C-alpha cells in the first residue's frame, strides 16, 4: 500500500507523472488474457478496441481485487441497434483509506483515494466495406483527499473482418486527452497508446487466438501479447494469455515465476443468457490479481 501511496502523491505533485489507473484492468476477462485480446468484446474494459460490435443487449458487472486491498468495480450496458452499438459504462477503482498526518507528524483526519471513469461508446459497421469503426468518450475523475482533477479522454478504433479466413485485424488509439480541471493548474500529459490486434478462429480446433502489439508513446519498450479462448462443451470456455512483459518483470527468483509471470488464465460459464467468468493474472515480480465477471443478456 505504501508504494501506491507514494505513486499517487507524486502524481498530484508532479505534472509529468501519470495516474496508474490508465493501465488498470477492470474485468476478469482482461486478467485472463493478460491484457491481450483487444478484438474480443469486453464491455467493462477500457483497453479493448472501440470498434467492437455485439448483437446482444447485455448488462455486465465486474469486480477485480488487486494486491494491497485495492479494488476495482465496473458496470456496463450494451445497447445494440441495426449495425451499430452504444456502450454505457462506469469504472471505479478505490485505493483505500489512509491515516492523515501534518508536517509535525501529528495525526489528522483520514483521507481516501479513488479514480472513476464514465464512458460512452459508439461503434458501427460500414455499409460498403467489412469494416467496423468506433469511438469511446470518457470522463475521468480522480480524487486524493481534498485534491481532485477531471480529464476528458477519447479512444478511436477500426476493425476489418475477413470472414473467409475467420480473421479480424484491428487498429486503435487510446487516451487522447483534454485537461478540464487540473490540480493546481498542472497539466497532466497522458501518453497515447497504440494497439494493433489480429484474431483468428482456427479451422480444426475450437480455439480463437489473438495477437496484440501495444506501443506507449512515452516509453521505449513495446509489448506483445498472445491469448486464446477455447470453446469447450456444456457452454464452458477457457481463456489464457501471456506477454513479453514477463521479460521486463522477470526477477529470476524461480523457474515457476519466470514461466507463469505476466500470464493469465480464466474460465467462463454460460447458462440461459447468464455468463459468469473468473480470471487470474500472475505478476512476474510475484503476487497475483483475480476478478469476477457477471453478464446478463436480456
The residue among 66, 65, 63, 90 whose CA lies nearest residue 76 is: 90
What is the domain extent for residue 22?
2-297
Per the model's pLDDT, the better-predicted residue between 17 and 192 turns out to be 192
Q: 206 falls in which pLDDT band (50, 70, 90)? A: very high
Measured CA to CA, the distance from residue 119 to residue 91 in angstroms comes to: 8
Confidence class of residue 182 from pLDDT cuts 50, 70 and 90? confident
pLDDT tens digits along 100-139: 877 777 788 888 899 999 999 999 999 999 999 999 999 9
Per residue in 141-181, pLDDT tens?
Answer: 999 888 888 999 999 999 999 999 999 999 999 999 999 98
Q: What's the rounded Cα separation, in Å, for the pair 38 and 211?
A: 9
- Looking at the predicted structure, is the pLDDT value of residue 84 above 60? yes
For the chain, the domain total comes to 1
Kindly report the number of other CB atoms within 10 A of residue 176's CB atom: 15
From residue 261, give the alpha-carbon distance in Å to each of 36, 104, 124, 251, 285.
Answer: 15, 42, 37, 10, 7
CA distance 58 to 113: 31
- Per-residue pLDDT tens for 207-250? 999 999 999 886 667 899 999 999 999 999 999 999 998 887 77
Q: Which residue has the higher pLDDT, 287 or 101?
A: 287
* Residue 72 predicted with pLDDT over 70: yes
Q: Please state, in angstroms and rounded to a whole number, the distance separating the CA atoms of residues 266 and 228.
A: 11
Q: How far apart are the C-alpha atoms of 273 and 251, rounded to whole Å?
A: 43
Mean pLDDT estimate for the chain: 88
Q: Which parts of 163-235 are beta strand (E)?
A: 167-181, 193-201, 207-216, 222-232
Q: How far apart are CA 151 and CA 188, in angstroms?
A: 9
Q: Which residues pair with 208 in a beta bridge?
A: 201, 229
Q: How far apart are CA 134 and CA 132, in angstroms?
A: 7
Of 26-35, 201-210, 242-251, least confident by mean pLDDT is 242-251
**Rg, C-alpha atoms of the chain:** 20
Q: Which of 177, 179, 174 is nearest to 193 (CA)?
A: 174
CATH, residue 17: 2.40.160.60
Q: DSSP alpha helices (H): ranges in the chain?
A: 2-13, 28-32, 245-248, 255-260
Q: Are 80 and 55 in contact (CB under 8 A)?
A: yes
Residue 218 buriedness (CB in 10 A; 0-12 / 13-18 / 19+): exposed
User: For residue 15, is pLDDT > 60?
Assistant: no
Spatial separation of the C-alpha atoms in residues 258 and 240, rounded to whole Å? 16
Amino acid at each position: 500500500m505504501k508504494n501506491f501511496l507514494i505513486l499517487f502523491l507524486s502524481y498530484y505533485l508532479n505534472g509529468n507523472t501519470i495516474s496508474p489507473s490508465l493501465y488498470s484492468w477492470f474485468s476478469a476477462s482482461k486478467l485472463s488474457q493478460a491484457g491481450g485480446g483487444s478484438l474480443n468484446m469486453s464491455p467493462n474494459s477500457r483497453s479493448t478496441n472501440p470498434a467492437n460490435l455485439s448483437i446482444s443487449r447485455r448488462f455486465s458487472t465486474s469486480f477485480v481485487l488487486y494486491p494491497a486491498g485495492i479494488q476495482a468495480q465496473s458496470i456496463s450496458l450494451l445497447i445494440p441497434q441495426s449495425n451499430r452499438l452504444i456502450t454505457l459504462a462506469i469504472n471505479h477503482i478505490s485505493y483505500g483509506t489512509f491515516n492523515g498526518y501534518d508536517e509535525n507528524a501529528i495525526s489528522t483526519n483520514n483521507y481516501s483515494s479513488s479514480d472513476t471513469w464514465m464512458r460512452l461508446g459508439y461503434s458501427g459497421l460500414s455499409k460498403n466495406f467489412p469494416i467496423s469503426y468506433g469511438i469511446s468518450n470518457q470522463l475521468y475523475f480522480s480524487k486524493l483527499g481534498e485534491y481532485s482533477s477531471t480529464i476528458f479522454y477519447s479512444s478511436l478504433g477500426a476493425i476489418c473482418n475477413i470472414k473467409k479466413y475467420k480473421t479480424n485485424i484491428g487498429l486503435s488509439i487510446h487516451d487522447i486527452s483534454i485537461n478540464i480541471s487540473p490540480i493546481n493548474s498542472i497539466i497532466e500529459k497522458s501518453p497515447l497508446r497504440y494497439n494493433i490486434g489480429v484474431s483468428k478462429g482456427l479451422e480444426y480446433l475450437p480455439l480463437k487466438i489473438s495477437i496484440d502489439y501495444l506501443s506507449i508513446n512515452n516509453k521505449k519498450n513495446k509489448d506483445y501479447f498472445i491469448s486464446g479462448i477455447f470453446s469447450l462443451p456444456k457452454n464452458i470456455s477457457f481463456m489464457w494469455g501471456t506477454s513479453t512483459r514477463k521479460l521486463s518483470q522477470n526477477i529470476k527468483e524461480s523457474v515457476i515465476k519466470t514461466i507463469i509471470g505476466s500470464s493469465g488464465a480464466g474460465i467462463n460459464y454460460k447458462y440461459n443468457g447468464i455468463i459468469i467468468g473468473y480470471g487470474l493474472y500472475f505478476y512476474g515480480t510475484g503476487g497475483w490479481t483475480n476478478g469476477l465477471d457477471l453478464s446478463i443478456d436480456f
